[in-house]
Copies of this chain bind each other. A is one copy, B any other.
Amino acid sequence: MSSYIESIEKLLAKLVKFPGIGRRSAERIVGYLIGSSYEEAKAIAQSILQLKEKVRFCSICNNLSEEELCSVCRDPKRNRHILCIVERPGDVASIEKTAAFHGVYHVLMGSIAPLEGRGPSDLKIDSLINRIRQEKIQEVIIATDSDTEGETTALYLSKIIKPTGVRLSRIGLGLPVGYNLEYADSATLSKALEARRDI
């Protein structure tokens, strides 16, 4: 049911495809664009095109980059012997925000999800194994999500990485920082108990 004029409906149809954007949110965004200057709208349109023109994936780790290698892989200060495996490029950004990791990454570009028909061959696993074998990696940290797909992926990776003999670990699961115990679900809580440390 089309209630708006054509140019509005056309943009609405594009916007509702964005993740997390429903019809109402799309209408509010269109309202914002109508109220903004032509220059601002043009700048937004150009930013979208530039994103598509400039962003590519790092040829070593698959992280997002505007160059052949991403900023992490280019950085001479990073420890190339420690490799952190994540599902998506956005996960690299999240870990970089912590400033707590000084190694390099490998982005799988997804996770194993048999129910959705995604298997190991859909992920960047061949290049991962090649890196572990050829780049003198000493330690591998599996930082996939803690959901079913992430855990399945972690399990699969641990099986194929173990034979290489590197030190292998999974990021710690437990109570989030600043969290109230009474709101924690029991799966998280039991993981947190398992992961207890002597003090």
Enumerate chain A interface residues (CB-CB to B < 8 A).
Answer: 1, 3-8, 10-11, 14-15, 17-21, 25, 27-34, 38, 41-55, 64-66, 70-71, 88-90, 93, 96-97
The reply to whether A11 and B90 contact each other, CB–CB distance below 8 Å, is: no
Q: Which of A4, A17, A43, A51 has the most CB of B within 10 A?
A: A51
B residues less than 8 Å from A8 (CB atoms): 51, 55, 64
What is the total number of copies of this protein in its complex? 2
Q: How far is the CA of A89 from the CA of B4 in the complex (A)?
A: 10
The A contact surface, by secondary structure, is helix
Contacts of A17 in B (CB 8 A): 32
Query: In the complex the two chains form, is A18's CB within 8 Å of B29's CB?
Result: yes
Known A-B contacts A44-B14, A51-B11; the reply to A31 vs B19 at CB < 8 A is: yes
